[in-house]
Amino acid sequence: MSVYSQKQRWKIVLFISALLIVFISLWYTNKLVEKIAQEERIKVKLWADAIQKKGNLVKYTNDLFNKLKTEERKRMELWADATKMLFTTENDLDRNFYLTIVNSNTTIPVILTDENQNITSWRNLDAIKADNLASLSPIEIKILTNELEKMKESQKPIEIPYYKDQKNYLYYNDSKIFTDLRLVLDDIIKSFISEIVLNSATVPVLYTDSSNTHIIAAGNLDSLQLNDSEYIKKLINQMRAQNQPIEIEFDEGQKNYIFYKESLLLMQLKFYPYIQLAVFAIFLMVAYSLFSTARRSEQNQVWVGMAKETAHQLGTPLSSLIAWMELLKLRGLEDEVTIEIGKDIHRLETITERFSKIGSKPEMQNENVIKVLENSISYLKLRVSNRVEFNLDSPSTQIFVPLNVPLFEWVIENLCKNAIDAMNGKGSIHIDVDENIREITIDITDTGKGISSANLKTVFQPGFTTKKRGWGLGLSLAKRIVEIYHSGRIFVKRTELNKGTTFRIILRK
């Protein structure tokens, strides 16, 4: 099993393990969030029930208050009848009875006027000390007039006919007891509204009138946005969709509504698992990126060190061979064999130069890429089987791009040698060159056995090889030379098993 097959299996195992960890984490977190959310829903339900009961209590208190108000009205009507009978009866016994009824009113402020609205008498006005009209001071007259105006605004007068079509008018105001109870009821209602807002804790709540447009009170909401009618409308619809509004009825036919929705905390808890997953994913991506960068840096150092050492090791025997070749020439022993040996020595010099350039910035010159490709093909034709056919197609005989010739020839040779191995020494290699304004493309196509889809992702990785005695460095070096040194691209354009493979090189002009 190759190192990349093992690596691929380890990746699958680690990926499945990571998925399991994420799944278990999300499942457990969701359980916790659901439990917390359920507890908050229970608290909100208890709060809603308590508000409903408190609202019923306030309504009951208000109903009692309205009954008391009705009873006071009946008392005033009875007092008015007693006053009328007091003026009209001639029976002394009856007069004493009606006088007792009239004198029994010790709490309700009243003012009696004639049909022309002139004040004739009053009762239970603490600010008036005089007993009759003649003894009224100017200040008391003003106070009495103001009280009469207030009574006209607050209560409907009671008519008291006393002789033929002549009548008096009885004006009255709420009693001291009734006024105190009114204040108590107002405090109860205000306290109820405060409890709606404050006891909702973190729950956003709206208390509206029957039209759902006027906001009586609000809690845990942005006060600035409450001035926006469209926002209020959307918010009420959202709250109504989440929870049934609580209906509050203080007076008969007058209903108010309490709307509420899930708290911000509960909404955050719902999204927490996904935020946690996103943070976890970002952390893994950053960690993977850092480790990959460190691994690539380490690989680069290994590449550079190995290349420099190879160049150094080749240098000593190569120098010796060059010296021996010079000695043979001096002795006049130069023939076809020594000429070919000289060519191979020159080739070794080129290889040594290639290795020495790894890790350093190569010199780039504007070169005719067609000529470079032709030279590479010529060299390979003499050293491979004659059953391998080479073809070069180009729109022009001269296409200039920035190149480092020794390194780029290395790329072409590696690709062609891999193609020859894939064809088992028999087939054709077609090199097609194309250009546009910004770049050129070089497609190298063979008729070999192709590359399996499982190996496409690792074909350029160091150590990848399908040969029994291969090192798996050729394509990795080719990628490094094209992409790092020439700022180009190299990739598998297409491949098909038992039909061949096309590698594409893209170089900038």
Of 114, 85, 124, 125, which Cα lies nearest the Cα of 101? 85
For residue 251, the model assigns a pLDDT of 65
Above 70 in pLDDT, residue 87? no
Q: What is the pLDDT of residue 261?
A: 80
pLDDT (0 to 100) of residue 494: 93
By the 8 A CB rule, do 29 and 22 touch?
A: no
Question: What order of strands is seen across the sheet that includes strand 388-393?
Answer: 388-393, 427-435, 439-446, 500-508, 489-496
Burial class (CB in 10 A: 0-12, 13-18, 19+), 147: buried
Q: 467: which 2 tokens?
A: 């040969």
Task: Find which of 78-82, 94-98, 116-120, 502-506 is predicted with most confidence, using mean pLDDT.
Answer: 502-506
- 346-360 pLDDT, tens digit each: 777 777 776 676 666
pLDDT of 195: 67
DSSP calls for 461-485: STT--SSTT--S-HHHHHHHIIIII
Above 60 in pLDDT, residue 415?
yes
Model pLDDT for residues 186-220, shown as the tens digit of each residue: 777 777 667 666 655 567 888 888 888 888 777 77
Closest CA to 353 of 305, 417, 302, 310: 310
Backbone angles phi, psi at 449, to 5 degrees: -85, -5
Q: Helix (H, G, I), strand (E, B), or coil: what is residue 225? A: helix
- Name the residue with higher pLDDT: 77 or 259: 259
Higher pLDDT pick, 425 / 88: 425
Residue 1 has pLDDT above 50, yes or no: no
Rounded Cα–Cα distance for residues 212 and 222 (Å): 18
pLDDT of residue 308: 66
Q: What's the rounded Cα separation, in Å, for the pair 393 and 380?
A: 17
**Rounded Cα–Cα distance for residues 39 and 256 (Å):** 28
Residue 4 in this model has a pLDDT that exceeds 60: no
Most confident of 144-158, 259-273, 426-440: 426-440
pLDDT at 442: 95
pTM for this model (two decimals)? 0.45
Q: 3-class SS at 208?
A: strand
User: Which pLDDT band holds residue 181 (cuts at 50, 70, 90)?
Assistant: confident
Mean pLDDT over all residues of the chain?
Answer: 79
What are φ and ψ of residue 287, in 5° steps?
-65, -45
Q: Which residues pair with 443 in a beta bridge?
A: 432, 504
- d(CA 248, CA 212) in angstroms, rounded, equals 13
Angle (CA) 443-449-454 rounded to 5° is 90
pLDDT over threshold 70, residue 109: yes
- Asked whether residue 390 carries a pLDDT value surpassing 60, the answer given is yes
Q: What values do phi and psi take at 14, rounded to 5?
A: -65, -35
Looking at residue 84, its pLDDT comes to 67
Least confidently predicted of 11-25, 253-267, 391-405: 253-267
411 within 8 A of 481, measured Cβ to Cβ: yes
pLDDT of residue 290: 81
**Could you write out the DSSP letters of every residue in 411-467?**
HHHHHHHHHHHHTTT-EEEEEEEEE-SSEEEEEEEE-S----GGGTTTTTSTT--SS
Judge residue 75's burial from the number of C-beta atoms within 10 Å of its C-beta, 0-12 exposed, 13-18 middle, 19 or more buried. Answer: middle
Q: Are 206 and 238 in contact (CB under 8 A)?
A: no
pLDDT tier at 253, thresholds 50, 70, 90: low
Residue 108's nearest CA partner among 69, 66, 161, 64 is 69
Q: Is the pLDDT of residue 493 over 90?
A: yes
- Alpha carbon separation from 63 to 56, 190, 250 (Å, rounded): 10, 17, 8
Query: Is 190 in contact with 198 (CB distance < 8 Å)?
Result: no
* Rg of the chain, C-alpha, whole Å: 52
Identify which of 309, 320, 401, 395 has the alpha carbon closest to the alpha carbon of residue 352. Answer: 309
Instruction: Output the CA–CA distances (angstroms, integers) from residue 464 to 4, 264, 304, 414, 458, in the order listed.
Output: 7, 54, 19, 14, 7
Residue pLDDT, tens place only, 284-336: 788 878 877 777 676 666 666 666 667 666 766 777 777 777 777 777 777 77
Q: What phi and psi, each to the nearest 5 degrees, are found at residue 120?
A: -110, -30
